[in-house]
A and B are shown apart, each in its own frame.
Chain A
Amino acid sequence: MSPADLDQMQTYRRELDDVARKSGALVTGVADAEAFTAAMEGQRPTELLPGCKTVFVLGGAQPRAGDWKSPSYRHMETTSTSDRLTAMGNRIAQHIERRCGYYAVTVPPGVDRARRPFLNIALAAELAGCGSPSLAGPVLHPEHGFMYYTAVLTTLPLAADGPLKQPACPAPECVSMWNEAGTTPCMATCPIDEGGCLGGKLEDGRIKERRYDVARCTTRVHTSFIPGFQKALEAVFDEPAKEKRKMILYSSQFTRTLWSMSYSNVSQGQCFECMRVCPVGSKQRDLR
């Protein structure tokens, strides 16, 4: 790439960062499309967009400081959603195509066959230096902690940021807790050996092993929304008594489930407890 081309790419990067920030993104990063060696076959950037050079990642739309403060846990269930990030991704894709003249496509937020994502967005965030994987699961940004991410695949050959040199998890407080008590805040709040979802080990201040029970977590995080709807539907059809069926269909649980599906941002996730106790990004939640 000539110096003029490099300058041009730097200009594009500044523009994209600017559009992302104005759209509400908190962090941005660029991953090299060739770096997705850990991704499953069919889920690599070049398999989704021929000639893909980079993956532009945006992060943000996390619960606000006020959301975390609310004593009503149901409040955050109904306000926390990744939808806004996808809209930002579309805006970035549009800018790349219309302003820079390169192909771009937003990675869809849903799942494909076998409930697998189109592209592992957590991996993209990690490879773009937006955060690092945590014991609790989500990719944590060193300063802001938990947030949602979206990824835009593009043929635009930006310079890649690469993964963080120092992982965000475990935080120093968590290492101290591990050294004293053999657990971390997130593992203590949802211990896998006591019916919870999280387990793992630290060694030399780094994650040595991680255990995560995705099935258990799903039953807690998605008590309403699509899995809740399917569970309730099963109960309805299995119920022989007409009156009881009516009760199930008009129950508050089933009603909430339908609300969460039709207004999909009403209630996508219902458990934030491992993130509530996470110290990474907690300073950002400390407001007046």
Chain B
Amino acid sequence: MLDLAELVQSAIAPDLDATMAMARSDDIRKLALAAGVDVVGIAPVDRWEEFVPPGSRPYDILPGAKTVVVVGVRGPSAGAWQSPDHRLIEMNGYDFANDRVIHLVADHIEREYGYQAIQAPGLPVGGHQPAFSMMLAAVLAGLGTRSFAANIILNPKYGLLYYSACITTLELPVDAMLEQDVCPAPMCVQVYKAGGRTPCQAACPSDEGGCLHGTIGADNRIESTYYDRERCVSRAMNFGINSFQKGLEQIANEDDSERRRMMIHSDFFTRSASAIAFYKESVAQCFECMRVCPIGRAERKLK
């Protein structure tokens, strides 16, 4: 025979659990937004099963993982986009605010709720592929969709954002993925129909030495995309690890001591070393496809 109290408890427990989960979700969102991120999304781990092979899913990184909290921040300030000195946008492109905030989120989940939480690994640990794609995480958490411009995930309100993710065993209410593609924007569809290229493709056309190409279908959605990653790297990463490696190779291959000295102390090598030391100093040096992108432009229009 069932105890009346147990009966009442079993009837209201699911509601209580849902209420508590919702309150925790709100709490996490508020914490992240107050800490400086622009968007927060939550995805269930099973969404990864369709897109990544076994071994690379959230629960392969954190056993028992239930959800992934993803945060996104704007990179360059609107003022940096206005500057005629392109180096200013390079140097202000990224300050790791998303990484800092995701640590706060993970700490909060572990300390306040007693569930495991880790920062998802964003950098490659073998080969050049990251262990966990922040781009995919952003899409699966409903924060954006892929674009023609180097497959960058565009948020409908802000456009280009930088993302970090927290994998946790805490079960939280999840966000729906975006139903409407962010890219191509209606304006880009018009430009494409008139000239055969979207603004980003026109800024960096792959058939003219650039990096981007793609087609829009009759349904006004992306039909095909082409992105020349190697070309893009050679332009977007003139200073940083890549240029440091390139410079070092040239230095090592130079037999003449005087010339070697010149190369070691050159502006180019100094700035490459500097970009490594102040990693945030210059992570990427080309924003041209994003400069012409209409998504998020309204957010960059100030006084």
Residues of A within 8 A of B (CB): 42, 47-51, 83, 86-87, 90-91, 93-94, 97, 101-106, 108-115, 118, 153-155, 225-226, 229-230, 233-234, 237-238, 260-262, 264
Name the residue of chain B whose CB is nearest to the CB of A154.
B79
- Beta-carbon contact of A237 and B260 below 8 Å: yes
Residues on A with C-beta less than 8 A from B281 are 108-110
Interface stretch (choices B121-129, B179-187, B270-278, B289-297): B270-278
Q: A48-B83, A262-B276, A264-B279 are in contact. Are A155 and B303 (CB under 8 A)?
A: yes
Residues on B with C-beta less than 8 A from A93 are 77, 79
- Beta-carbon contact of B277 and A264 below 8 Å: yes
Cα A225 to Cα B270 with chains together (Å): 11
Shortest distance between the CB of B71 and any CB in chain A (Å) = 15
- Beta-carbon contact of B79 and A153 below 8 Å: yes
Residues of B within 8 A of A (CB): 36, 77-80, 82-85, 87-88, 91-92, 95, 97, 251-252, 257, 260-261, 264-265, 267, 269-271, 273-274, 276-279, 281-282, 302-303
Q: A230-B264, A234-B261 are in contact. Are A225 and B277 (CB under 8 A)?
A: yes
- Beta-carbon contact of A105 and B84 below 8 Å: no
- Beta-carbon contact of B251 and A233 below 8 Å: yes
Contact pick for A97, options B77, B87, B273, CB 8 Å: B77
Shortest distance between the CB of B97 and any CB in chain A (Å) = 8
Residues on A with C-beta less than 8 A from B82 are 49-51, 103, 105
- Beta-carbon contact of B277 and A106 below 8 Å: no
Residues on B with C-beta less than 8 A from A112 are 87
Residues on A with C-beta less than 8 A from B270 are 115, 226, 230
Shortest distance between the CB of A223 and any CB in chain B (Å) = 15
- Beta-carbon contact of A226 and B77 below 8 Å: no
Residues on B with C-beta less than 8 A from A237 are 251-252, 257, 260, 264
Cα A239 to Cα B270 with chains together (Å): 21
Name the residue of chain B whose CB is nearest to the CB of A263.
B277
Cα A101 to Cα B299 with chains together (Å): 10
Contact pick for A262, options B252, B269, B277, CB 8 Å: B277
A sample of 30 inter-chain contacts (CB < 8 A) reads A47-B84, A49-B82, A50-B83, A83-B278, A87-B95, A90-B97, A101-B302, A101-B303, A102-B303, A103-B82, A103-B303, A104-B78, A105-B77, A105-B82, A108-B88, A109-B278, A109-B281, A110-B274, A110-B282, A153-B79, A155-B302, A155-B303, A230-B265, A234-B261, A234-B264, A237-B260, A237-B264, A238-B260, A262-B277, A264-B277
- Beta-carbon contact of B77 and A106 below 8 Å: yes
Cα A115 to Cα B274 with chains together (Å): 11
Contact pick for A94, options B36, B87, B302, CB 8 Å: B36
Shortest distance between the CB of A212 and any CB in chain B (Å) = 21
Q: A50-B82, A233-B251, A237-B252 are in contact. Are A94 and B77 (CB under 8 A)?
A: yes
Shortest distance between the CB of B21 and any CB in chain A (Å) = 30
Q: A114-B267, A238-B257, A264-B277 are in contact. Are A105 and B251 (CB under 8 A)?
A: no
Cα A111 to Cα B92 with chains together (Å): 13
Cα A264 to Cα B274 with chains together (Å): 9
- Beta-carbon contact of B264 and A48 below 8 Å: no
- Beta-carbon contact of A108 and B79 below 8 Å: no
- Beta-carbon contact of A105 and B87 below 8 Å: no
Give the interface centre of B78, B257, B274, B277 by most chain A CB atoms within 10 Å: B277
- Beta-carbon contact of A105 and B92 below 8 Å: yes
- Beta-carbon contact of A103 and B85 below 8 Å: no
Cα A270 to Cα B187 with chains together (Å): 55
Residues on B with C-beta less than 8 A from A229 are 273
Cα A110 to Cα B281 with chains together (Å): 7
